[in-house]
Structure formats: structure tokens, C-alpha cells
Amino acid sequence: MRIALKAKPLILKVGSAALILGALPGAAIADSARCVEGLWPAAKSAGVTRATFDRAFQGFAPDPEVIEAANFQPEYVKPIGEYIDRAVSDKRVETGKQKLAEYQALVEGLEKRYGVDRHIIVAIWGVESNYGVQPGDKNVIRSLGTLICSGTKAKFARPQLVSALKILQRGDIGFEAMNGSWAGAMGHTQFIPTTYTAYAVDQDGDGKRDIWGNIPDALASTASYLKVSKWRASETWGYEVKLPKGFDPKRVSENTLKPLGDWQKIGIVRVAGEPFPRLSDKASLFAPEGTRGPAFLVLNNFRSILRYNVAKSYALAVGHLADRIKGYGRFVQAWPTDETHLSLEQRTELQRLLIAQGLMTGEPDGVIGPATLEAVRTYQRAKTLPVDGFPSLTILKRLRAETPPPAPPAENQTGSVGEAPPADGGEAPPANADGEQKANAGQE
């Protein structure tokens, strides 16, 4: 997930002092230095040399964007359908198929060795870093140091920093190249340093576990981590199911684990009516939109994916992307669309109309991010409507009524716009973690 950052002054707490970042005053630099020195004892007792420590923190200054990202509270809570549409876009499915073909020998070997479905390995790669396109470009030491020194998620960041220093000391990756998300999730697989230390794999045998630049190492690390997360070979993650009439899934806890046979007895069946392969498999019911959207019985392997990222929407995206790469279709049941849940088409149309009105720029992609929200707010202000930035059906209908249809393109102007950046970039699971995420606490 990439978070677009608003430019505003930032209060950074360093020790007891509060200061404004931007133009770092001398006092702030002194406080940063004091904070960094306070990190040395823990590093030292973990076996980090002073030379490694000094090199890692050379020129350290807190990164205001990291704190901003850590404190980001979206006012618009993205419906799960919107997140799934984005995480499992047709383009990502197609790219996944290409990657599967390109790395066929590798992923077949990993499937044999670790017992993890090759489609799942490729799907995690796709959801985590868009197949390595968006691995995060923030220096991990700087990000973790910033979190600790600002007191933002410091408890999470302290052990991560020690692990990160040890990774540098071991020479798996260079000081300049150890980049990741704002929370230190690194490389193709978005492993945080402690997960990396415990589970990353040197697949190509060059003595380094390079999840940043070496795809065999990265994909093997994913497979290795899923295996220790109790992935079961030759089993799927779950099934889309049909609920019996009058059944309210909200009355069943998502933690209730029962054999598929028991669920079947109360009338829950697969959407296309096929039998469950193993009735004794323990499953829980996951119906994030209640009776208004797709419902699933999820199995052991769904719970393994949750070790990577504890958001269930994330695990669903990974499972669904794997199935789509395998050649299965979309969910049979549609996600709800109503006043507050626009469909992908409606969201794209909304952006197109906002762009036509000059309220935002870019290429409509149906992803509601900060740029779209700001455009909606600007529109609401101009129309003296309540300003909440929420992309509702009412706003879409007003825009439709006001915006003239685009003129038909001239003969010589029919080419794709292509190069324009997407209107928004954000992409995070909507159901945010209650607990700490295991592989990549940053949700980046």
C-alpha cells in the first residue's frame, strides 16, 4: 500500500521535547542524536558492532512521512469489495499468469519442497509488492529509527531495528539498498526484519538471502514462511458458499470453527453446488458484508495466509488472486452497491466526472484514494453540501446530471492515454488489523 502524504507541519516528540519538523532546528538534530545513542545498548547486547551501528545511523534524521503514514487515519473506510477489486484487478491476474509462466520451474520446485501451492506464492507476491514493482523505497533503518524516536509504534519498531542492524552486519544487503515500507516491510515479499531473520531463504545459494533483488530468494522465502505457518499441501484456502434462506451470518462468530460437514448440515453449500472434497476439514464462516455480498467458508490455509497479514480482507485477496491466476472466475455473488458502496464501474465514473469538472487530474482507475476524496470535498464545498469527502451514490448522480457527456473523439485522437498516472494510489486492506501483523506489520 502506498499512502499519499499530505504536506502539513508535523509535531515530533523526541524524548519529552515537542518540535516542528520540516526545517529541522539544531535542537531537533541534537535530540535525534540523543535518541539514536539510546538505541545503542540494545543493539550492542544483540551482537551489533559499533561500526555497523554508526554506519547505519550515519546522517540520521527522522522521516516525517513515516510518522504521517503511521498515524494515517483514513476518514473514508474503504468497503472490502473496493479493496478486493483493486487487489485482484484483471491486470494483476494477467501479470500473475505471466509471472507463473516465467518462473514455472522455480515455483514448481518450491511447491515440491515446501508443499505450498505455486499460485498462492505468486498471488502473495502480487498483493504484497505488485510483483516487485512497489517494494517500498524508504530506508529501513531511518524508518524504524523514526518510529522509535517519535514514540509512534515504538514497541513494534525496537526489535525490528535490532534485527535490521543484524541483517546489515551479516551483509545480506547493503546499507543503501535496505529499503522497504514506512514500517520496515522489505522487498518483494514485504517481510519485516524479524520475519526475514527467522524465515528468509537463500534459494540461489549465493550465501545471501536477497528478498530485495533476487526473485528465487524472495519466492522461496514466501513459501518457507507459509510452510512454517502450517500451510497444508494440496488443500485450498476456502470456498465461496451460498447461505440458506433466512440465515444471518452476522449471528455466527468468525471464530467459530466447525467441520465442513456441520456447515453443510445447516444448508451452507458451495455456490455452484459441487460437493466439499473433505467434509471433516475445519472451516469458519467469513461473510464480511453479511447477506449482501459473497460469503465464504475458510479453511486452515486461509489462517496460514493470515500469518502474513492479519487482515481477513488481505487473506481473501490472496486466495482469490491465486484462484483467478489458476483460471477460476470472479466471485459468483456480487459485492453490494448502494449509497455507500459504489461498484468499480461507478467509482471509475465518479473519477471521470470529477476530472471532467476540473476537480482532479490523472487517469480514472476506480481506486478511491486521497486525491478522489479531496476532489469530492472540493465539490461538496462548492455546492455547500456537508463536507465529508465520502464518494456516495448521491454525489455520483449529481455529477452525472451536471456534466455534459464527452465529445466523441476525433479520428486521430483515439489512442490510449496510457501514460497518465492513476488518479489515486492507496491500497490497504480495509479491515485493519486488531493485532500485530506477522510478516509485514506496516500494511504497506
- CB closer to Ca ion out of 202 and 254: 202
**In the complex, minimum distance from the CB of residue 188 to Ca ion, in angstroms, rounded to a whole number:** 12
Query: Does position 177 bind Ca ion by CB under 5 A?
Result: no
Contact 439, 304 (CB under 8 A): no
Residue 208 is a binding residue for Ca ion (CB under 5 A): yes
| Residue 16 per-residue DSSP state | T
Taking CB under 5 A as the criterion, the residue among 94, 206, 338, 436 binding Ca ion is 206
Task: Name which of 186 and 306 has its Cβ closer to Ca ion.
Answer: 186
Fill in the amino acid letter for 131.
Answer: Y
> Looking at 125-133, 208-216, 306-314, 348-356, which segment touches Ca ion (CB under 5 A)?
208-216
- Whole-number minimum distance, CB 222 to Ca ion, in Å? 14
Q: Which is nearer to Ca ion, 158 or 208 (CB)?
A: 208
CA distance linking residue 273 with residue 266, whole number of Å? 15
Distance CA(277)–CA(55), nearest Å, equals 56
37 binds Ca ion (CB under 5 A): no
* CB-count exposure of residue 165 (10 Å: 0-12, 13-18, 19+): buried
Q: Of the listed pieces 176-184, 205-213, 243-251, 417-425, which binds Ca ion according to CB under 5 A?
A: 205-213
Write out the H or E segment, with its range, that includes residue 297.
Answer: strand 295-298
Question: Virtual CA dihedral for 143, 149, 151, 154, nearest 10 degrees?
Answer: 60
> Quick one: 95 or 203, whose CB is closer to Ca ion?
203
Contact between 200 and 209 under an 8 Å Cβ cutoff? The reply is: yes
Q: Give 65 or 204: the residue with its C-beta nearer to Ca ion.
A: 204
Regarding 374 and contact with Ca ion (CB under 5 A), the answer is no
Using CB under 5 A, pick the residue from 204, 254, 363, 374 that binds Ca ion. 204
Minimum distance, C-beta of residue 215 to Ca ion, in the bound complex (Å): 10
302-331 binders of Ca ion (CB under 5 A): none
Sign of torsion, CA 368 370 373 374? negative
* Region from 81-89, 122-130, 147-155, 203-211 binding Ca ion, contact rule CB under 5 A: 203-211
Q: Write down the least CB distance from residue 210 to Ca ion, Å.
A: 5
User: Of 207 and 275, which has the nearer Cβ to Ca ion?
Assistant: 207
Piece in contact with Ca ion (CB under 5 A), picked from 39-47, 52-60, 94-102, 207-215: 207-215
Residues recorded for the chain: 444
CB of residue 209 vs Ca ion: minimum separation in angstroms? 6
Contact residues for 163 (Cβ-Cβ < 8 A; gap 6+): 192, 193, 194, 196, 197
What is the footprint of Ca ion within residues 215-254 (CB under 5 A)? Answer: 217
Question: Cβ distance 191 to 183 under 8 Å?
Answer: no
Q: Give the shortest CB-200-to-Ca ion separation in angstroms.
A: 9
User: Would you say 435 and 381 are in contact if contact means Cβ atoms under 8 Å apart?
Assistant: no
Give the DSSP letter string of 315-331. HHHHHHHHHHHHT--S-
Q: Please report whether residue 202 would count as binding Ca ion according to CB under 5 A.
A: yes
Q: Which three cell numbers stand for residue 169?
A: 552486519
Nearer to Ca ion, 205 or 405 (CB): 205
Provide the minimum distance between the beta carbon of 201 and Ca ion in the complex, in angstroms, as a whole number.
Answer: 8
Which residue shows C-alpha cell 523526541? Answer: 14
Provide the Cα torsion 287, 293, 299, 303; round to 10°: -70
How many positions of this chain bind Ca ion (CB under 5 A)? 6
Residues at the interface with Ca ion (CB under 5 A) = 202, 204, 206, 208, 210, 217
